[in-house]
């Protein structure tokens, strides 16, 4: 089983619909992140959470919201999806302090808004 | 947050050594330098991390000069499977929020 699991892997939705992308991890890490990646471009940080009670906006948070339900779960919501939110979304986790702070990524969720 | 600059793309041939340089002129005392590799449609994967001088693991080496204003990721004897995007990140390991940037697209030819 993957250490960081994203569901769904692929999703097509209509403009204006609310959609939730889910991420769960078995690494025991405190820190979780959501990124989006557009074709040919790098990753852009949407939201990040350093622990269950901590939520922070990233580079491009407009149009998105998140929920940290538990240490292991971090969900990303698009309240009213629009076509320019079509992208590949990645969730990541990291230990965050001391040594071995590398980030681990999920398999990605390919979202298409029509 | 230290900003990084790296080449947009690089080409190489199988068997050659590839060096990708990242500039980070405003690196702070507590900042570490970390490199990730990303294949198409996959999440990035950690390659190596360092603070100063040289770090080597089974995949790559990371060279950091004394002033730490730049760093070089060295991939020995690349193969076709090393074709990927490589990201340089700079930040405090305890507080950094992992900003990736656009990376360097490495294309390895036969």
With CB atoms and an 8 Å threshold, state whether B100 touches A43.
Answer: yes
Q: How far is A51 from chain B (nearest CA, A)?
A: 12
* Minimum CA–CA partner of A91 in chain B: B43
Q: How far is A17 from chain B (nearest CA, A)?
A: 25
Q: Which residues contact A50 (CB under 8 A, 6 or more apart)?
A: A30, A31, A56, A96
Question: Which chain A residues contact residue B101 at CB under 8 A?
Answer: 42
Q: How far is B94 from chain A (nearest CA, A)?
A: 5
With CB atoms and an 8 Å threshold, state whether A33 touches B98.
Answer: yes
With CB atoms and an 8 Å threshold, state whether B36 touches A103.
Answer: yes
Q: Are the C-beta atoms of residues B100 and A45 closer than 8 Å to each other?
A: yes
Predicted confidence at residue A100, as pLDDT, reads 61
What is the pairing mode between strands A103-105 and A10-13?
A: unpaired
Could you tell me the pLDDT band of residue A68, with boundaries at 50, 70 and 90?
A: very high
CA distance A48 to A112: 23
The average confidence (pLDDT) of chain B is 93
As a whole number of Å, the CA-based R_g of chain A is 13
Predicted confidence at residue B102, as pLDDT, reads 87
Considering only the beta carbons, identify the residue of B34, B44, B99 that sits closest to A105: B44
CA distance B83 to B7: 15
Could you tell me the pLDDT band of residue B7, with boundaries at 50, 70 and 90?
A: very high
Predicted confidence at residue A1, as pLDDT, reads 64
CA distance B43 to B36: 10
With CB atoms and an 8 Å threshold, state whether B100 touches A92.
Answer: no
| Two tokens, residue B68 | 């730490």
CA distance A21 to A35: 12
């Amino acid at each position: 089983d993957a250490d960081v699991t994203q569901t769904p892997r692929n999703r097509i939705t209509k403009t204006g619909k609310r959609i939730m992308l889910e991420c769960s991890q078995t690494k025991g890490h405190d820190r979780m992140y959501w990124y989006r990646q557009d074709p040919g471009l790098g990753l852009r940080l949407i939201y990040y959470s350093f622990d269950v009670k901590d939520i922070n906006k990233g580079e491009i948070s407009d149009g998105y919201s998140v929920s940290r339900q538990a240490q292991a779960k971090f969900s990303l919501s698009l309240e009213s999806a629009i076509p320019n939110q079509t992208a590949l979304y990645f969730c990541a986790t990291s230990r965050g302090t001391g040594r071995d702070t590398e980030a681990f990524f999920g398999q990605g969720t390919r979202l298409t808004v029509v | 947050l230290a900003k990084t600059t790296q080449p947009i793309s690089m080409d190489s041939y199988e068997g050659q050594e590839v060096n990708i340089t990242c500039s980070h002129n405003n690196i702070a005392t507590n900042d570490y330098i970390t490199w990730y590799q990303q294949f198409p449609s996959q999440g990035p994967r950690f390659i190596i991390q360092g603070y100063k001088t040289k770090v080597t693991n089974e995949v790559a080496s990371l060279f950091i000069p004394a002033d730490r204003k730049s760093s070089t990721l060295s991939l020995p004897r690349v193969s076709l499977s090393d074709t990927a995007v490589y990201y340089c990140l700079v930040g405090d390991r305890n507080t950094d929020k992992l900003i990736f940037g656009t990376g360097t697209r490495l294309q390895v030819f036969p």
